[in-house]
A and B are shown apart, each in its own frame.
Chain A
């Protein structure tokens, strides 16, 4: 009997540590514009990114502003969501769909710097 109790305690401890582990969740993007998401929201730490030397508080790298299809330098749009300008399907106003806006922005930088994830499951980590 005693061994059983110890075993049960052990299993219980494992189970609860699992819960404790999953509570320390990473920050994720859960863009509501994707009405029926097909992948778990991408892992993205906003603070970690703005603090890297490559970005160093240049918000416009991601929060850019366009006028007449040309990039307006030195202006930023952090009050807008990407989905305010990028719709699910590309249209005449904006040829970059929302998914591609995210994927291009995130992956191209990671690829060019050789740092940060580029594979699907490294961003869309299973919960």
Chain B
């Protein structure tokens, strides 16, 4: 495997780490009062509550959107990690190995992810409130997630232009990894921080729940 995979994976991980450190630093410098009431217990309580599907009330109010969104996020991580072809490559490079998902199951779930992304686009086009909050960049970001899944699907089935599809698959995956720390995708680390803050404010000050 070429060096770009490792470079992009490292940019992703270190980018997120640096971002995390910068956020914490900024809190220390500008919002010190936060530290007076933020607690581990209330933070974890809120993060965990929001991880349980359909537990927070607001998620039950929009069950279709929330259900699709929840499944999408789970698959987004599970699919690439437990895909047999990816494990074969990791195994060749590091002699590491773990159980793989069945290929047919992965195939069907990939179609699921693609449909979820199409759903997100339609939602942004047709629901007025969301449309108002949507910028062109949001569609570009959705496209960036869509590409690795579509090209991966086409490559597995060896439909057309196999070589080019695989190259597109690898490149789009690498671009996605690199973009994560510099875009809204970094909500993978900022979302739990938001929960920690909200959870602590509700739990520790208002003595209420935030779910």
Residues of A within 8 A of B (CB): 38, 90, 95, 97, 99-100, 103-104, 119-122, 125-126
5 A–B pairs (Cβ distance < 8 Å), ordered by A = A38-B84, A38-B103, A100-B92, A119-B163, A120-B155
State whether the Cβ of B95 lies closer than 8 Å to any Cβ in chain A.
yes
Q: Check if A90 sits within 8 Å of B95, measured CB to CB.
A: yes
Q: Check if B88 sits within 8 Å of A125, measured CB to CB.
A: no
Q: Check if B91 sits within 8 Å of A99, measured CB to CB.
A: yes
What 0/1 pattern do residues 152 to 176 of B give for CB contact below 8 A with A?
Answer: 0001011000110010000000000
Q: A38-B103, A99-B88 are in contact. Are A122 and B95 (CB under 8 A)?
A: no
State whether the Cβ of B183 lies closer than 8 Å to any Cβ in chain A.
no
Q: Check if A103 sits within 8 Å of B163, measured CB to CB.
A: no
Interfacial chain A residues near B162, Cβ < 8 Å: 119, 121-122
Q: Check if A125 sits within 8 Å of B158, measured CB to CB.
A: yes
Q: Check if B158 sits within 8 Å of A104, measured CB to CB.
A: no
Q: CB-nearest residue of chain B relative to A124? A: B158
Interfacial chain A residues near B85, Cβ < 8 Å: 120
Q: Check if B155 sits within 8 Å of A121, measured CB to CB.
A: yes
Q: Check if B166 sits within 8 Å of A121, measured CB to CB.
A: yes
Q: Check if A126 sits within 8 Å of B95, measured CB to CB.
A: no
Interfacial chain A residues near B155, Cβ < 8 Å: 120-121
Residues of B within 8 A of A (CB): 84-85, 88, 91-92, 95, 103, 155, 157-158, 162-163, 166
Q: Given the complex of chains A and B, what is the CA–CA distance between A64 and B91 in angstroms?
A: 22
Q: Given the complex of chains A and B, what is the CA–CA distance between A52 and B185 in angstroms?
A: 49
Q: Given the complex of chains A and B, what is the CA–CA distance between A51 and B166 in angstroms?
A: 30
Interfacial chain B residues near A103, Cβ < 8 Å: 88, 92
Q: A38-B103, A90-B95 are in contact. Are A122 and B163 (CB under 8 A)?
A: yes
Q: Given the complex of chains A and B, what is the CA–CA distance between A90 and B84 in angstroms?
A: 17
Q: Check if B92 sits within 8 Å of A121, measured CB to CB.
A: no
Q: Check if A126 sits within 8 Å of B91, measured CB to CB.
A: no
CB B100 to nearest CB in A, in angstroms, measures 8
Q: CB-nearest residue of chain A relative to B91? A: A100
CB A20 to nearest CB in B, in angstroms, measures 21
Q: Check if A95 sits within 8 Å of B95, measured CB to CB.
A: yes
CB A86 to nearest CB in B, in angstroms, measures 13
Q: CB-nearest residue of chain A relative to B102? A: A38
Q: CB-nearest residue of chain A relative to B157? A: A126
Q: CB-nearest residue of chain B relative to A103? A: B92
Q: Given the complex of chains A and B, what is the CA–CA distance between A95 and B103 in angstroms?
A: 26
